[in-house]
Amino acid sequence: MIHPRFKVSIGYNKTDYETYACVLKSILEEKGFKTQLVYSELQGNFISSEFKEIVRSSICLILITDAEIINSSAINQGIGYAQGKGLNLILLTNTDLENKFVDIPKQITVMRFNEDSFKKQCFSIVTKIEQISEIMEEPIDVDAFLDLYARTKI
């Protein structure tokens, strides 16, 4: 299935760029998704306006990370911003975050990989994003939504 109207953003740090971000990008594009790579600025304390714009136009943000990077204030702000926009988040990590005292919200999907399992995890990510896009493509019953909204409005 081709999904040209859905964009997926991939956040990465410099060491992950060639080995992981580009591989994931090419697999997603083969499946018909538009993709955009976002370099994770770890030096600053705030997320950039470029990052905010990319997040606003995506259906999913995938962060390729490890325990040290996930604890940076800029990454935590980026995760918070994406969650605030209702974006689906996937953390793709090469470390066991649970054993590194990292607090990951339950709404975020965490997938662990190593060099041998990376491509397999990429295909799992594609399957998850296809499910998200299928839900988003379903037509909305506007009358039912407005009726529910009117009944629940306080």
pLDDT digits (tens, 9 = 90+) for 40-99: 654 556 777 878 888 888 889 998 887 667 777 777 788 888 888 888 899 888 876 655
CA distance 81 to 68: 20
Asked if the structure places residue 96 within a domain, the reply is: yes
Asked if the structure places residue 85 within a domain, the reply is: yes
Q: At what angle do helices 118-137 and 22-30 cross, to 10 degrees?
A: 40
* Residue whose structure tokens are 């955009």: 36
pLDDT number for residue 79: 82
Asked if the structure places residue 30 within a domain, the reply is: yes
Mean pLDDT is lowest, of 50-64, 120-134, 137-151, for 137-151
Asked if the structure places residue 124 within a domain, the reply is: yes
Query: What's the CATH number where 34 sits?
Result: 3.40.50.10140
Asked if the structure places residue 2 within a domain, the reply is: no
Instruction: Name the average pLDDT for the chain.
Output: 78
- pLDDT band of residue 123 (cuts 50, 70, 90) is very high
For 64, residues 6+ apart whose C-beta sits below 8 A from its C-beta are 10, 11, 12, 13, 16, 20, 21, 24, 92, 93
Report the number of distinct structural domains present in the chain.
1
Residue 66 CA, chain-centre distance (Å), reads 15
Domain that includes residue 61, residue range: 7-152
Determine what percent of the chain is predicted with pLDDT higher than 70: 68
Q: Please state the φ and ψ torsions of residue 43, each to the nearest 5 degrees.
A: -80, -35
Tokens describing residue 44: 């600053």
